């Protein structure tokens, strides 16, 4: 059990933040002598060139779970970005970990911050944890930790006009020392944040189908956001990048006939209605081996709201030639239009045309998604959660992970 930490029974906690969707009505000016939250963005970062790299912020949030007590500790704010973790932790040796990715943004007046659909990421992290024998982080604890991490780093949430955002990285680890291949005594849940610009940008990218490598076995862990699904892709995605392909695509491992997903994002395509009474159609690749993308799910809802047909189903690779537009969907880059798909073994190169590099369907979906995310458009589906000021008792604490569990062995 970690030092100086109160055990929390999260199921018994009432949690006010979860339903606190941003209604966009900012309160009138605060009374004098009350610290205004959120603080303005720091002036040490060039907000128009944020890029996609690790930048140090005020700190992260940490909570630990003990198998013997069955309790999570109250999330604590920790300044040190480094972890004190035993080298024998299963996260380091056996890949017992999973992670998430989501975003916080400033509203157009820069005076409030919200997080986009954290409840969806909380549920997906529970799904991932089950695949690698880790305790599920209760949704209310996940939300509390994510809100706290953003609130304590609010000055690193970029200004609205920059188009940049704060990336939130929740991470769950098997963290106490363990030699045998059994679940360890202690798990650590962390939430890191950092400001980011756009990942791929809004330019179209060429895609290569990966044919000498299977990302996920048919009954494997493909739907879990575990690190073991990502590191093995690197050698292939880097080789593709050197050949000029900005993104790589996985087909289903068993038959290599259907689309699974891109290495870092979901696969969506658009078919224009060709006659007056034929609707535009959004076709989304479905497979049990893919990450259930929150971005894709949001875009599906946006397409429905616009009166498009939406089909979520298996997509045969051959069908790619029939699509008018193809896009990759993920938190980091939102939607990336795909310029071409190359499959070397069959000498196939499918090209997509976007008017003046300005894809019609993708851009409509992207502008709407970004508008909702950034608070410029109405949040019809309650996707934005308002971030409240941290409480005085949430001041920085000592790091707590791992050490006591090792001492207790």
Residues at the site binding ligand PLP, with contacts judged by CB under 6 A? 101, 261, 264-266, 291, 293-296, 329-331
Closest separation in Å from C-beta 226 to ligand PLP:
10
Of 296 and 342, which CB lies nearer to ligand PLP in the complex structure? Answer: 296
Of 205 and 405, which CB lies nearer to ligand PLP in the complex structure? Answer: 205
| Beta-sheet strands, E only, within 205-361 | 205-209, 247-251, 259-262, 266-271, 281-285, 309-313, 325-330, 334-343, 348-351
**CB count, 10 Å around CB of 219?**
9
Bridge partners (DSSP) listed for residue 195: 166
State how far the Cα of 192 lies from the Cα of 196, in Å rounded to an integer.
Answer: 13
State how far the Cα of 149 lies from the Cα of 168, in Å rounded to an integer.
Answer: 8
State how far the Cα of 408 lies from the Cα of 387, in Å rounded to an integer.
Answer: 38
Of 41 and 266, which CB lies nearer to ligand PLP in the complex structure? Answer: 266
**CB count, 10 Å around CB of 132?**
21
Do 196 and 164 touch, CB atoms closer than 8 A? Answer: yes
Of 72 and 167, which CB lies nearer to ligand PLP in the complex structure? Answer: 167
Closest separation in Å from C-beta 193 to ligand PLP:
16
Closest separation in Å from C-beta 87 to ligand PLP:
27
Closest separation in Å from C-beta 339 to ligand PLP:
20
Closest separation in Å from C-beta 371 to ligand PLP:
17
Of 151 and 168, which CB lies nearer to ligand PLP in the complex structure? Answer: 168
Closest separation in Å from C-beta 293 to ligand PLP:
3
DSSP per-residue codes, 57-74? -S-EEEEEEETTTTEEEP
Of 112 and 295, which CB lies nearer to ligand PLP in the complex structure? Answer: 295
Bridge partners (DSSP) listed for residue 264: none
Four-residue CA torsion sign, 85, 89, 93, 95: negative
Of 329 and 336, which CB lies nearer to ligand PLP in the complex structure? Answer: 329
234, burial (CB in 10 Å: exposed 0-12, middle 13-18, buried 19+): exposed
Of 2 and 329, which CB lies nearer to ligand PLP in the complex structure? Answer: 329
Of 141 and 291, which CB lies nearer to ligand PLP in the complex structure? Answer: 291
Q: Compute CA distances 215 → 173, 208, 233, 289, 308, whole Å.
A: 22, 14, 7, 9, 32
Closest separation in Å from C-beta 225 to ligand PLP:
6
State how far the Cα of 168 lies from the Cα of 100, in Å rounded to an integer.
Answer: 8
Closest separation in Å from C-beta 175 to ligand PLP:
23
Bridge partners (DSSP) listed for residue 170: 191
Of 24 and 230, which CB lies nearer to ligand PLP in the complex structure? Answer: 230
Q: Which two tokens stand for residue 302?
A: 């946006």
**Torsions phi, psi of 199, nearest 5?**
-80, -70
Closest separation in Å from C-beta 200 to ligand PLP:
13
Closest separation in Å from C-beta 264 to ligand PLP:
5
Four-residue CA torsion sign, 50, 51, 57, 59: positive
């Amino acid at each position: 059990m970690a030092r100086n930490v109160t055990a929390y029974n999260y199921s018994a906690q009432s949690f006010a933040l979860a339903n606190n969707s941003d209604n966009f009505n900012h309160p009138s000016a605060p009374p004098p002598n009350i610290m205004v939250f959120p603080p303005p963005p720091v002036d040490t970062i060039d907000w128009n060139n944020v890029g996609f790299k690790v930048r140090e912020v005020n700190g992260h949030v940490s909570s630990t779970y003990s198998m013997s007590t069955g309790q999570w500790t109250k999330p604590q704010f920790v300044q040190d970005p480094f972890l004190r973790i035993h080298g024998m932790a299963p996260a380091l040796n056996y890949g017992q970990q999973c992670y998430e990715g989501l975003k916080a943004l400033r509203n157009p007046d820069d005076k409030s911050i919200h997080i986009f659909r954290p409840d969806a990421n909380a549920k997906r992290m529970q799904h991932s944890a089950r695949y690698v024998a880790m305790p599920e982080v209760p949704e209310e604890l996940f939300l509390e930790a994510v809100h706290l991490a953003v609130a304590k780093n609010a000055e690193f949430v970029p200004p609205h006009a920059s188009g940049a955002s704060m990336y939130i990285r929740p991470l769950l680890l098997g963290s106490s020392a363990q030699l045998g291949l059994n679940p360890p005594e202690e798990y650590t849940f962390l939430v890191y944040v950092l400001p980011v610009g756009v990942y791929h940008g809004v330019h179209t990218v060429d895609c290569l189908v990966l044919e000498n490598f299977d990302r996920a076995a048919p009954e494997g862990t493909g739907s879990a956001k575990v690190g073991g699904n990502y590191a093995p892709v690197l050698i292939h995605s880097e080789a593709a990048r050197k050949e000029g392909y900005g993104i790589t695509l996985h087909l289903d491992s068993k038959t290599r006939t259907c689309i699974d997903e891109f290495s870092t994002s979901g696969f969506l395509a658009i078919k224009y209605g060709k006659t007056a009474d034929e609707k535009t159609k959004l076709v989304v690749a479905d497979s049990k081996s893919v990450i259930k993308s929150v971005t894709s799910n949001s875009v599906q809802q946006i397409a429905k709201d616009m009166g498009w047909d939406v089909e979520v189903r298996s997509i045969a690779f051959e069908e790619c030639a029939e699509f008018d537009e193809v896009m990759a969907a993920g938190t980091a880059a939102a939607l990336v239009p795909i310029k071409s798909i190359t499959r070397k073994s069959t000498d196939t190169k499918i090209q997509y045309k976007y008017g003046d590099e300005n894809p019609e369907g993708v851009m409509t979906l992207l502008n709407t998604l970004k508008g909702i995310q950034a608070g410029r458009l109405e949040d019809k589906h309650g996707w934005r959660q308002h971030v409240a000021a941290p409480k005085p008792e949430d001041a920085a604490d000592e790091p707590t992970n791992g050490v006591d569990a090792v001492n207790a062995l």
